[in-house]
């Protein structure tokens, strides 16, 4: 059988190549693709098929011959791992034989990947949610999408005291801001309330400048009656699948951010604080970096995994740094070419003579 005949016997619409550190992101992409009816090679789905097989040979067949596209999750972790590089070499061998785009890169950082030219169009995971990647791939495949997504600002309210009634605080603040969030874009537990505000309702900048101050104002009265209670507001921007109870990586990351150790340490260093706003890297890049929405009052902190959060503590010009002498705050004041700009048809294509980022 010739190489051309073997490539014609494709079993998968797309194969995923990634390092373990990006597994959660890759898993969500795989799940959403399967919901679209796309045939996906994702290692967790093929454990039985690979049982007893020569893994080296089996993966070469998948990445070199059996797939229509290869999503390559490029990162420093990918560059140093043995198996991802084996998959990459097989995929690159296939790409040489392909008339059109085969390798579709998704970058998690700026690490150079051997053989992956800077002129190849890519998506940037630092700016694109898994749902965005899936939507772009479906368009690349010229299929009609099944998945419905909502792009917007993710808000997470959290507290250790259920008596604070987070859902009521959120409802009042949304009403004051004349913002409507449908029930399918909200979820709650006893200590957390989550909502996605569609960009059609408010941009991320508008959420930071109007909705979040309203949340702080409503919460302030209740916090005065509940000693020892903290109110945490997480804010992120992303594209989420609709109708699945807000179960996705972007929401989970926002929920995790408000209880991060660096947030606890910052609150501990601010004796008069009972509220903190925790903004993500995307919010910083899209809003705070422009100087809008009280950007000067945020301080960047770094988590153990190297990712950044941006904190604001009402009542402090800037959040105190843990370990430094504690500030006795006088009182609360309230401050009110990756392909994000390109066509999906360029994903994975050579962009000679153009800027790629």
* Average pLDDT of adjacent 10-residue blocks, the chain of 357 residues: 57 96 96 95 69 75 96 96 94 92 96 90 95 96 92 97 93 94 92 96 95 94 88 97 90 96 94 93 95 89 93 93 59 38 55 42
The ranges assigned to domains in the chain are: 3-128+341-346, 149-336
CA angle centred on 40, ends 7 and 110, rounded to 5° = 90
Q: What is the per-residue pLDDT for 348?
A: 67
Residues facing 344 on adjacent strands: none
**Structural contact between residues 240 and 156, judged by C-beta atoms closer than 8 angstroms:** no
Q: For the structural domain made of 3-128+341-346, what CATH number should be given?
A: 3.40.50.10140
Q: What confidence score (pLDDT) does residue 49 get?
A: 62
Q: How is residue 122 annotated by DSSP?
A: B
pLDDT score, position 321: 84
pLDDT of residue 47: 56
pTM: predicted TM-score of the whole model, two decimal places: 0.84
CB 223 within 8 A of CB 274: yes
pLDDT at position 23 is 95
Q: Among 239, 280, 241, which residue's Cα sits nearest to residue 151?
A: 239
Which spans in the chain are helix H?
A: 3-8, 23-35, 47-50, 55-64, 76-80, 82-97, 130-140, 166-176, 204-206, 212-224, 249-257, 261-268, 281-286
CATH 3.30.70.1230 given to domain 149-336: yes
Output the pLDDT for position 332: 41
């Amino acid at each position: 059988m010739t190489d051309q005949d073997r490539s014609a016997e494709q079993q998968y619409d797309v194969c995923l190549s990634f390092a373990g550190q990006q597994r959660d992101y890759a898993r969500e992409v795989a799940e959403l693709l399967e919901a679209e009816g796309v045939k996906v090679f994702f290692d967790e789905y093929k454990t039985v098929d690979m049982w007893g097989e020569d893994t080296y040979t089996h993966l070469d067949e998948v990445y070199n011959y059996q797939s229509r596209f290869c999503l390559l999750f490029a990162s420093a972790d990918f560059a140093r791992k043995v198996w991802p590089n084996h998959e990459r070499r097989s995929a690159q061998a296939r790409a040489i034989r392909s008339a059109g785009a085969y390798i579709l890169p998704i970058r998690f950082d700026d690490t150079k990947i051997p053989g992956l030219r800077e002129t190849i169009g890519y998506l940037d995971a630092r700016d694109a949610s898994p749902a965005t990647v899936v939507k772009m791939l479906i368009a690349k495949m010229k299929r009609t999408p099944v998945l419905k997504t909502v792009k917007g600002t993710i808000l997470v309210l959290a507290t250790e005291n259920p008596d604070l009634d987070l859902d009521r605080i959120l409802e009042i603040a949304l009403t004051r801001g004349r913002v409507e969030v449908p029930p399918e874009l909200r979820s709650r537990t006893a200590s957390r309330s989550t909502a996605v505000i569609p960009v059609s309702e408010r941009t991320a900048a508008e959420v930071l400048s109007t909705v979040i101050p309203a949340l702080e104002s409503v919460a302030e009265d209740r916090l005065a009656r509940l000693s020892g209670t903290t109110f945490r507001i997480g804010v992120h921007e992303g594209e989420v699948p609709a109708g699945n109870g807000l179960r996705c990586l972007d929401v989970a990351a926002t929920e995790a951010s408000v209880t991060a150790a660096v947030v606890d340490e910052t609150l501990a260093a601010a004796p008069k604080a009972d509220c903190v706003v925790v903004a993500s890297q995307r919010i910083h890049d899209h809003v705070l970096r422009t100087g809008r929405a009280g950007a000067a009052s945020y301080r960047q902190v770094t988590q153990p995994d190297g990712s950044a959060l941006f904190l604001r503590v009402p009542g402090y010009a800037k959040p105190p740094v843990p370990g430094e002498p504690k500030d006795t705050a006088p009182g609360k004041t309230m401050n009110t070419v990756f392909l994000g700009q390109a066509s999906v048809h360029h994903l994975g294509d050579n962009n000679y003579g153009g800027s790629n980022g």
